[in-house]
Amino acid sequence: MTGVAAPFIDAANAMRVEGPECPPFPVRDGCAVEPLVEAAEMYPAMERLVLDARKSVWLAFRVFDPDTRTRSAEAKARGLADWTALIIDAVQRGVSVRVMIADFEPVMADYLHAGSWASFRRLRDAAAPLDAAIATRLEIMIVMHEGELGWVWRQALRLAVGARARKVVAKLLDGDAADGGLSVRPGLWRYVLWRSGKPARIRAVPQLPRLWPATYHQKFAVIDGTTAVAGGLDLDERRWDDRRHRQRADQTWHDVSAIVRGPAVADAARHFATLWNAELPRYRAVVAEWSNGTGETLQLDPLTDAVELPPPAPGGQARVQFLRTRSRLSTSPVAFGPRAHVRELKAAHRSMIIGARRQLYIEAQFFRSAVAARWVVQALRASPGLEVIILVANVPEEIAFEGQGDNPAHRHGEYLQARALKRVVRAGGRDRVGLFTLAKREAVRRDEEDFVEDRGTAFGSGLIHIHAKLLIADGESCLLSSANINGRSFEWDTEFGLLWAHDDAGIAAFRDHLWRQLFAGHLDGSATLDDWRRAALANVDATPETRKGFVVPYQIGRARRFGRPYWFVPDDLV
């Protein structure tokens, strides 16, 4: 393969672990990119795309709740109140709809597992009254990542997993679940003795438990093979927020996605079809194993192979390359997760960071990767004029809002992040590196006071949860994806995103739009690190209601004091 110009990825710099198969997608000319900041921009845009679809709608999300309310005027005008109605309307118009939702470890993450299967049941129930020929246009798959723990770890964790399963099932048998209970937890059916089609009591499972630590973390859609949407946003009510961030702190959400048009869309469709077709037989096998001996069944069909779509005509001036993270089942008996395979998004982060010369802007839910910190240090040393602006979540939402501060995995993650960011700051110094986060423009509300102890507030305000995964280098290239800056996204989980370049005006306009929202119009895309720092410090000194935007300093000291390294928590797990 002929080498491509930086920051794009080819076979030579893709950081592939094994084999020449599954090469990087080509760099596509003639594309158009429309960034979408916050769900308030992304959700209505997605709805309009589905409403306008003529042939096909392919949806691939980590979290997809069909009860999510519609927000666009167009959907509301047609009486479509939620995404269930939107999808049923599409299939009734003759559109083929495929929905691929991530599944989760049934025992250790039963509530996430239940969420995915509740979405499955909601859509299946909605399609049931339809004429059979119409109903076959809706295909749904709940996809469990193939990576599993090896035999040694399954043996070592057998008693702990069994105890956890018994605890979860006991609560479900007592009726202590408002989300559908066992009906939406097929991965737990094998832990239940069934009588006359009803769960009767807990039963022991003789075989070793299968444990799935990795997941499908991607968030993208392909409409009619001509338009793609990709980035950091899943689709549910939790992620809904707008540029004002006036919701309670635990309901805020900052994120970025983008609409892509042009020849690159065919690569997004190819990625979807490849995953869909590869997962079909394994999906059936896993569900059959869960159902075996229970008397319970799941109506999986209709399910058919997805056919790759032809590339659309050029329609813009941007160059776009879609990129992935994919991993495979490790056959090692001591495997704690999958083995790395396709690491294009990791390679793109390296290329973007090392190639930055003037300004590197990063938005991240997590910045926990030691190797990414080394890349930033390398870039700072190579380019004395480089300034680095990092906007990162002040604390994980699981700690701040969900009471999981005693979880070793979360504390280990905070340790990794404080260590990585400290290394970057030490290399560049205060004049060249700035760490920032987001806080609301109102004082802590009475219903947010419970978050204070768990670091869910900062500088007298509730936090705004940052979930974006974004890099902009020198205003010339942009990486927007589902991948966090951590080992899990670089090595384990299935991730998807786009690298966008050769569109300086478009990228500059995006940065300007984004920064104006972050600073409520007081700074724009021409701002420097010094501008950011002065504005953030002024926001700390001001009353929350008079702040110029949402940007405040990131509290690395609090993360450092909270974080703890645990030898038994793999870095790639968090």
Structure tokens at 569: 């928590």
d(CA 408, CA 406): 6
User: What is the residue-level pLDDT of the chain in tens, covering all 574 positions?
Assistant: 345 566 999 888 888 776 556 889 999 999 999 999 999 999 999 999 999 999 999 999 999 999 999 999 999 999 999 999 999 999 999 999 999 999 999 999 999 999 999 999 999 999 999 999 999 999 999 999 999 999 999 999 988 888 898 889 888 888 766 778 898 999 999 888 888 777 888 887 767 788 999 999 999 999 999 999 999 999 999 999 999 999 999 999 999 999 999 999 999 999 999 999 999 999 999 999 998 888 788 999 999 999 988 889 998 999 999 999 999 999 999 999 999 999 999 999 999 999 999 999 999 999 999 999 999 999 999 999 999 999 999 999 999 999 999 999 999 999 999 999 999 999 999 999 999 999 999 999 999 999 999 999 999 999 999 999 999 999 999 999 999 999 999 999 999 999 999 888 999 999 999 999 999 999 999 999 999 999 999 999 999 999 999 999 999 999 999 999 999 899 999 9
Q: Are 200 and 192 in contact (CB under 8 A)?
A: yes
Do 28-291 and 319-573 come out as alike in CATH topology?
A: yes
**Which CB contacts under 8 angstroms, 24+ apart, belong to 401-409?**
401/249, 401/250, 401/451, 401/454, 401/456, 401/465, 403/454, 405/454, 405/562, 408/564, 408/566, 408/568, 408/569, 409/566, 409/569, 409/573, 409/574
d(CA 217, CA 193): 33
Structure tokens at 321: 């390359």
pLDDT at 352: 96
Question: pLDDT tens for residues 218-227?
Answer: 999 999 999 9
CA atoms within 13 A on the CB side of 503: 24
CA atoms within 13 A on the CB side of 430: 4
pLDDT at 1: 32
If we measure between CA atoms, which residue out of 256, 260, 274, 275 comes closest to residue 223?
260
What are the sequence ranges of the domains in the chain? Answer: 28-291, 319-573
- Listed in sequence order, the DSSP H helices in 257-343 are 265-291
If we measure between CA atoms, which residue out of 166, 177, 97 comes closest to residue 130?
97
Structure tokens at 506: 């478009």
**At the topology level of CATH, where does 319-573 sit?**
Endonuclease; Chain A (3.30.870)
Q: Are 386 and 356 in contact (CB under 8 A)?
A: yes
- Does the model's pTM come out above 0.85? yes
∠ Cα 528 530 533 (to 5°): 115
Structure tokens at 363: 């938005």
Q: Are 120 and 183 in contact (CB under 8 A)?
A: no
pLDDT at 434: 98
| 479 phi/psi in degrees, rounded to 5 | -115, 120
Q: Checking DSSP bridges between strand 461-463 and strand 457-458, what pairing results, if any?
A: antiparallel
How far from 125 is each of 174, 311, 319, CA to CA, in Å? Answer: 25, 34, 42
Q: Which residue has the tokens 């805020």?
A: 252
d(CA 140, CA 119): 10
**At the topology level of CATH, where does 28-291 sit?**
Endonuclease; Chain A (3.30.870)
Q: What is the DSSP string of 189-251?
A: GGGEEEETTEEEEE----SPPP-----B---EEEETTTEEEEES--BSGGG---TT--S-GGG
Question: pLDDT tens for residues 44-61?
Answer: 999 999 999 999 999 999
How far from 374 is each of 151, 347, 369, 422, CA to CA, in Å? Answer: 34, 14, 9, 11
**How many helices (H) and strands (E) would you count in the chain?**
16, 20
Residues 6+ apart with CB under 8 A from 53: 90, 93, 95, 223, 224
If we measure between CA atoms, which residue out of 100, 119, 120 comes closest to residue 57?
100
Q: Are 236 and 68 in contact (CB under 8 A)?
A: yes
- Listed in sequence order, the DSSP H helices in 39-109 are 39-52, 73-77, 83-92
As a whole number of Å, the end-to-end CA separation of the chain is 35
pLDDT at 354: 96
d(CA 472, CA 364): 12
- Listed in sequence order, the DSSP H helices in 107-216 are 110-127, 132-135, 151-156, 158-173
Work out the burial of residue 447: count CB atoms within 10 Å of its CB; fewer than 13 is exposed, 13-18 middle, 19 or more buried: exposed
pLDDT at 143: 96
d(CA 547, CA 187): 48
